[in-house]
Amino acid sequence: MNFNDLNIKPAILKALSKENYTAPTPIQEQAIPAVLAGRDLFGCAQTGTGKTAAFAVPIVQLLSEQQSSPQKVRRIRSLILTPTRELALQISDNIQAYSQFTQLRSLAIVGGVSQKGQERSLEQGADIIIATPGRLIDLMNQKLVDLQHVQILVLDEADRMLDMGFIRDVKKLIAKMPGKKQTLFFSATMPPEISKLVKALLVNPVKVEITPASSTVDRIKQSLYYVEKANKQSLLNDLLRDPSIVSALVFTRTKHGADRVVRGLTKVNISAQAIHGNKSQNARQNALNNFKSGATRVLVATDIAARGIDIDELSHVINFNLPNIPETYVHRIGRTGRAGLSGIAISFCETEEIPYLKDIEKKIKKSIPIVTEHSDPLLIS
């Protein structure tokens, strides 16, 4: 199948081909026709499956088809809510790309940066807003955004919005939108609160479930070092002596842990930057851009900050700490091995993390091969 078969308009096809999208991914194949037909959608899918285009492409098409004279006042006709700023900016970049040959205007509204610029852009009008809930609520309370004309609402990574305590804000925002609208809801997991929300918000939805978990996991070369906490930094420094590790995303449990790892790497002249919630939006974006351009070799991140980060061709993921939620392991390592590429995931496991390892292995239904040899045997147990 190719995008032509999905009844996509030439202006959007041209944009997709400019982005080198040749064929739709499975989630796009299923979701695009349903969204174009005006249906509500429930998508159980993670970042990396092509989920953004699955909702963004049909939204761009539906809104650009309705567009009448360009002089008419622009109203916010689609709102996309996401848990993190990085994800919002990334979706915004994608939408700019998909809509580049249409008249549509889209705008990202995120916290952590000055409100003034966003106010000015809002005054000029936008058809599509991509927002994190907090800043949007602020602007709504100041009567600077009007959600009464929203026709298509997207809740992206709803489970993560729940984890991050945004659900009340999301409900408040929804209360300001028309009752009759098309809702597209994405969540990688289905805790009870999410099922409740799905029942309340969606009318006869089309369900699209893409579980890349096992296929992704199968494609990625995984390994594990049993290593005590005190030796983790030396082991990391040592592994990174290998020049074949061109770029690595390293996960730590805490923000302080991320900063500590960066300091440890910098000491041995390995270029590294951290990305986490204590950093300003600009610092996070800067770290991400440097990593993407290859200026920094190692990006050290916490899970929340890394959610939604989209880096093409990331060769290595290193778990400095194992996560206590097995799904998180799958999310983390799924950042390598994207789009059919093979990837490498290396994990460090200290004694206290052994129960997490057991849960992870149960989840992925296999045991992770253990590396027992190292040039400095004192580093691993």
Summarize as ranges the residues that interact with ligand AMP (CB under 6 A).
21, 24-25, 28, 47-53, 310, 312, 339
Residue with Cβ nearer ligand AMP (51 or 160): 51
Residue with Cβ nearer ligand AMP (15 or 360): 15
Cβ(227)–Cβ(376) under 8 Å? no
> Which contacts (CB < 8 Å, 24+ apart) does range 119-125 have?
119/144, 124/74, 125/73, 125/74, 125/75
Tell me if residue 17 falls in helix, strand or coil: helix
Residue with Cβ nearer ligand AMP (48 or 326): 48
Question: Minimal distance in Å, beta carbon 200 to ligand AMP?
Answer: 26
Residue with Cβ nearer ligand AMP (86 or 353): 86
Cβ(307)–Cβ(157) under 8 Å? yes
Residue with Cβ nearer ligand AMP (312 or 373): 312
Question: Minimal distance in Å, beta carbon 339 to ligand AMP?
Answer: 6
Hey, which bits of the chain come out as E strands?
A: 41-44, 78-81, 106-109, 128-131, 152-155, 182-186, 206-209, 220-226, 248-251, 272-275, 298-301, 316-319, 343-349
Question: Minimal distance in Å, beta carbon 122 to ligand AMP?
Answer: 26
Residue with Cβ nearer ligand AMP (67 or 315): 315
Residues 353, 354, 356, 361: is their CA dihedral positive or negative? Answer: positive
Question: Minimal distance in Å, beta carbon 53 to ligand AMP?
Answer: 5
Distances, alpha carbon 22 to alpha carbons 25, 60, 189, 203, in Å: 9, 18, 29, 32
Question: Minimal distance in Å, beta carbon 254 to ligand AMP?
Answer: 26
Question: Minimal distance in Å, beta carbon 47 to ligand AMP?
Answer: 4
How crowded is residue 144: how many other Cβ atoms within 10 Å of its Cβ? 15
